[in-house]
């Protein structure tokens, strides 16, 4: 396999753009709007437009950008985005399993390191961890070749807990978002972790959710804001 390019701090902003486009669905035919990207990155729309124009006009374009139509990743951009996602999720798993980092501290630490680790270091982390398929938050880890594990997507088929509209139901936690440390601490304290079984009841009066984990008879109430950070799949058996 051809050696991948070295990364330095000048590419950190580019990597963050590529990851954001990927997470917003811009890896295939779907195009991501300037507004959506600006909101995700907390950057002014004009700055987003300037960056996308540079990425689209570079000798090896990382994005396909058209004014008023939005942006999607080129093949090279998708490969790089998945490489950085792999770095991030492997680092989170290493910090959690080997260095005993708290779950809510993983994302921020991995954000600092993901752009700069070497291919050799990446391989050694993966080998040490037994080539994991998911990170501690339940997110799929791309392969060394820049693809998702067979049969999996960047975000697997699931729904956000806040989208539950039935009176009640039983679900399994697919993943939890890692961007908000406060919400993550609350979620973990409630026993809501990947693979956990949840019994969910929507609370009409507050718009929140009553949740029981596993076989517990004790219910905890989650606000809609926190419920937005939990992805679940319906339990079929």
Domain of 224: which CATH number?
Answer: 2.30.30.90
Give the C-alpha separation, 101 to 180, whole Å. Answer: 16
CATH code for the domain of 148: 1.10.10.10
Whether 205 and 149 map to the same domain: the answer is no
Q: What is the pTM of this model?
A: 0.81
Whether 165 and 135 map to the same domain: the answer is no
Of 127, 155, 183, the residue that ends a domain is 155
Of 129, 155, 181, the residue that ends a domain is 155
Structural domain span for residue 195: 159-234
Give the C-alpha separation, 108 to 101, whole Å. Answer: 11
> What pLDDT tens digit does each residue of the chain (237 aa) get?
444 444 444 588 999 999 999 988 887 778 999 999 999 999 999 999 999 999 999 888 999 998 888 999 999 999 999 999 999 999 999 999 999 999 999 999 999 999 889 999 999 999 999 999 999 999 999 998 888 765 555 445 788 999 887 767 889 999 999 888 899 999 999 999 999 999 998 887 788 899 999 877 788 999 999 999 999 998 765
The count of other CB atoms within 10 Å of the CB of residue 205 is 5
Of 131, 155, 179, the residue that ends a domain is 155
Give the C-alpha separation, 153 to 22, whole Å. Answer: 11
| Residues across the chain | 237
Number of domains in the chain: 2
């Amino acid at each position: 396999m051809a050696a991948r390019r070295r990364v330095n701090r000048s590419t950190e902003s580019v990597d963050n753009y590529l990851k954001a486009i990927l997470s917003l669905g811009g890896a295939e035919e779907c195009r991501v709007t300037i507004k959506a990207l600006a909101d995700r990155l907390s950057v002014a729309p004009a700055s987003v437009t300037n960056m996308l124009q540079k990425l689209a006009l570079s000798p090896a374009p990382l994005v396909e950008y058209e004014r008023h139509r939005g942006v999607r990743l080129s093949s090279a951009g998708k490969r790089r985005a998945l490489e950085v996602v792999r770095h991030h999720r492997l680092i989170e798993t290493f910090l959690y399993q080997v260095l005993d980092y708290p779950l809510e501290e993983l994302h921020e630490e991995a954000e600092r390191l993901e752009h700069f680790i070497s291919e050799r270091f990446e391989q050694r982390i993966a080998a040490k961890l037994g080539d994991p398929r998911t990170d501690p938050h339940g997110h799929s880890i791309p392969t060394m070749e820049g693809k998702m594990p067979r049969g999996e997507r960047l975000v697997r088929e699931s729904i956000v807990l806040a989208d539950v509209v039935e009176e009640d139901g039983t679900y399994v936690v697919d993943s939890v978002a890692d961007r908000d440390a406060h919400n993550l601490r609350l979620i973990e304290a409630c026993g809501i972790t990947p693979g956990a079984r949840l019994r969910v009841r929507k609370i009409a009066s507050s718009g929140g959710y009553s949740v029981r984990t596993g076989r517990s008879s004790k219910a905890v109430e989650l606000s809609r804001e926190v419920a937005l950070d939990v992805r679940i799949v319906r339990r079929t058996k």
